[in-house]
Amino acid sequence: MSLERHGFQAEVSRLLQIVAHSLYSDKSVFLRELISNASDACDKLRYLALTQPELLEGGGELAVTLSVDKGGKTLTIADNGIGMNKDDLISHLGTIARSGSAKFVEELESAKSAEAKVSLIGQFGVGFYSAFMVADKVTVLSRKAGETQGWRWISDGTGEFTIETAEKPQRGTEITLHLKKGEEEWLEAARLEHIIAKHSEHVALPIHLKDGAEEKHVNQKAALWTKSKSEITEEQYRDFYRHIAHAWDEPWATIHYKAEGKIDYTALLFIPSQRPMDLFNPDRKQSLKLYAKRVFITDQSDEILPGWLRFVRGLVDSEDLQLNISREMLQASPLLAKIRAALVKRVLSELGKRANDEDKTSYESFWGHFGAVLKEGLYEDPASRDEILKLARFRSTGSDGWVSLADYAARMKEGQKAIYYIAGDQLDALARSAQIEGFKAKGIEVLLLTDPIDEFWIPAVEKFGEAEFRSVTRAGADLSEVKSEQKTDDSKKPVAENLDALISFLKVTYKDAVKDVRVSERLTDSACCLVADSGDMDMHLERLLRQHKR
Ligand code: ADP
Ligand code: MG
């Protein structure tokens, strides 16, 4: 085949511009990304070979090999993993497949610091393009396992790439970086070894380093999670977290344990300290990786953790799972259901511990990032409901900070039977709204709920202890049963006859717009406010649903 020219997807071109010109902070990122791709490629092959062992023929031990050519000023990262054919090269190395990529590139263009950019890149996982941080030309030579034809992909990272057929005696991928002027440090074996030790030592695959005739095995082979806790330093945990989660922050929590007995498995879970940008993206990748006896099975399974814990990163390695289990079979696996239940319990108990820390700020920052996700569990998972209600924190009229439901309950007034809340989009607007004036005047605390999810879990949960949740925008929110702290000033009370006339007038005037007009105790300063009738939908919910229909 002759040479074919292809243009990069527009987002990729813009991304390459940024990558090539403005990421000065830590260029070693590219090495970590390319090694992690090589390792993914070997994992994929190993998994396919469980059912198609012939794919492994003629390949030797799965490994990554880095070789430097000082004369030619190139660094090559080679693997004998799954490889890519022509279609793979075009779609994987020419586009950003994931939805939201346009938004991602926009955020990237507006990110101020180099760290912020690198962090965005890490989160989105557009790792391959980081090669252009250090190279002004990249050649990818690849042959897919089970196929005979090899392919060469070449680009200088400015808008186009070419593809042609090529000789490649063995399966796998070879990525050659033609280093830019000034990037010669990537030809120094010692420098490369240092970076690998720092970022890739836990890659569960041998990494070889070739410098001229010299060849060296540079990483440890034991998977980190198989070691015991006491053998692992905090720094190793952090580096592993960054590797597996494609993240740059510190883990906020690290949960590492071995379960033995009825089911044998090891879990190494992390909760990030920063909120990943795609947390609310409906088709974001699952965050947990599943292994069976150290063999990577999938990171696409919703069965390992429920969606409301999708911020948890890390892995689960099971001794009992069938190695050749198909992804479809996973869904029906009772074993996995048990592991899932155990993981949920473990995560919730860790959160419970952290919620009781003397220093509240750390837990509150966790809640600020992930509380809205955790609250999805209130209606999706009745079994975890009580636990989550204890973990939940809210804004309220009773405090400037976060309050728990237990805090609220302890402050309830004599005669108060319900937990009052108001839901809306903006905290300050809610705090100023006319509907809560009467509550404020009586010293009754009102929860200010601003997450869209709040409208969905409240009807499902109904109660905390004996107290039911009740919206202040409903007419049923009755204040007369609660003892007032302030003396009411009788001189301000409206004269009843005048009121009747006014109400009749309003009812007639607004007969098509409102169901009823009533005298209310809930107002102190404002003249009137809109509320929903007790049996009707909460006003904010109605508005949300109307927006969704459009
Ligand atoms: P990600 O790894 O997050 O998918 P990358 O930009 O790092 O994003 O890689 C894009 C895709 O290119 C990968 O998903 C994979 O399909 C393909 N790819 C990259 N490197 C290799 C490799 N060494 N072997 C096989 N496929 C690869
Ligand atoms: Mg990658």
**pLDDT tens-digit profile of 34-48?**
998 998 899 899 888
The predicted pLDDT at position 283 comes to 60
Closest residue CA from atom 16 of ligand 1: 92
Distance from the CA of 30 to the center of ligand 2, in angstroms? 10
Distance from the CA of 126 to the center of ligand 2, in angstroms? 6
C-alpha span between 273 and 113 (Å, rounded):
19
Q: Considering the chain, what percentage of its residues have pLDDT values greater than 70?
A: 87
The predicted pLDDT at position 266 comes to 96
Nearest atom of ligand 1 to the alpha carbon of 93: 12
Q: Considering the chain, what percentage of its residues have pLDDT values greater than 90?
A: 47
Closest residue CA from atom 8 of ligand 1: 126
Helix (H) or strand (E) holding 367: helix 360-374
550 pLDDT band (50/70/90 cuts)? Answer: very low
The answer to the question of whether 134 is labelled as a binding residue is no
The answer to the question of whether 99 is labelled as a binding residue is yes
55 pLDDT band (50/70/90 cuts)? Answer: very high
**pLDDT mean over 48-70:** 90
Q: Which of 15, 40, 173 to mutate to test the pocket of ligand 1 (most atoms within 8 A of CB)?
A: 40
**pLDDT tens-digit profile of 323-365?**
666 667 777 788 889 999 999 999 999 999 999 998 999 999 9
Nearest atom of ligand 1 to the alpha carbon of 44: 25
C-alpha span between 53 and 132 (Å, rounded):
36
In this prediction the pTM is 0.71
> In whole angstroms, how far apart are CA 547 and each of 452, 540, 541, 542, 544?
12, 11, 10, 9, 5
The answer to the question of whether 439 is labelled as a binding residue is no
Residue given tokens 């007639």 in the structure block = 508
535 pLDDT band (50/70/90 cuts)? Answer: low
The amino acid that residue 200 corresponds to is S
**pLDDT tens-digit profile of 2-41?**
899 999 998 889 888 887 776 556 788 789 889 989 988 9
Res. 391: pLDDT tops 50 = yes
Between 149 and 497, residue with greater pLDDT: 149
> In whole angstroms, how far apart are CA 404 and each of 145, 360, 447?
55, 12, 10
Provide residues with CB under 6 Å of ligand 1.
33, 37-38, 40-41, 79, 81-84, 92-93, 125-128, 173
The predicted pLDDT at position 316 comes to 94
**Which tokens belong to 131?**
């090669």
C-alpha span between 548 and 220 (Å, rounded):
52
The answer to the question of whether 174 is labelled as a binding residue is no
Distance from the CA of 113 to the center of ligand 2, in angstroms? 22
> In whole angstroms, how far apart are CA 15 and each of 10, 31, 100, 131, 537?
9, 18, 13, 12, 46
